[in-house]
Copies of this chain bind each other. A is one copy, B any other.
Amino acid sequence: MPDAAAATDDALVSTFGRLLEAAARLERRLGTALEAETGVPHVWFEVLVRLARSERGMLPMGELAGQITLTSGGVTRLVDRMDAAGLVTRQACATDRRVSYAAITDAGRAKLAEAVGVHATNLRTVFDGFSDRELAVLDRLLDRLRGAPLPA
């Protein structure tokens, strides 16, 4: 077996590959399901969740970008679209005129409530065989991974 093939069996590379593959596959599948059933793309859902969870239902654009792992430029236009759809609005910040808040609207909260129901149902199918204990373990591992030290 040539070196390259042996090296690709590096355990960490495999583990990381598994992580990305599982995430990509599930996001695709559940994302299209969610959008088909509610009209809300999965990214929109993520935005709504973050905003709804936040103080006063709003977050600065940059903070939102960080939370959903997008560029600030990307979020600018994403919020444009969601604004056009009536699910969020922009709000000026009183104390720092550079920052612009994205704020969830009532329509946004309503849509979110609907979408959460659908999404949770779909997720129950996916996590069918998982015990509470296993889910807790998974949560813990993922949290550690999320905050893992990154290479220089």
Q: Does A63 belong to the interface (CB within 8 Å)? A: no
| Interfacial chain B residues near A3, Cβ < 8 Å | 113
Majority-rule SS of A interface residues: helix
Taken together, the copies of this chain in the complex come to 2
Stretch at the interface among A76-84, A87-95, A117-125: A117-125
| Bound Cα distance A123, B5 (Å) | 18
Contacts from A to B (Cβ < 8 Å): 2-5, 7-8, 10-30, 33, 46, 49, 52-53, 67, 69, 109-110, 112-113, 116-117, 119-130, 134-135, 137-139, 141-146, 148-151
- 7 closest A-B pairs (Cβ-Cβ)? A23-B23, A12-B123, A24-B69, A122-B151, A18-B142, A7-B116, A4-B113
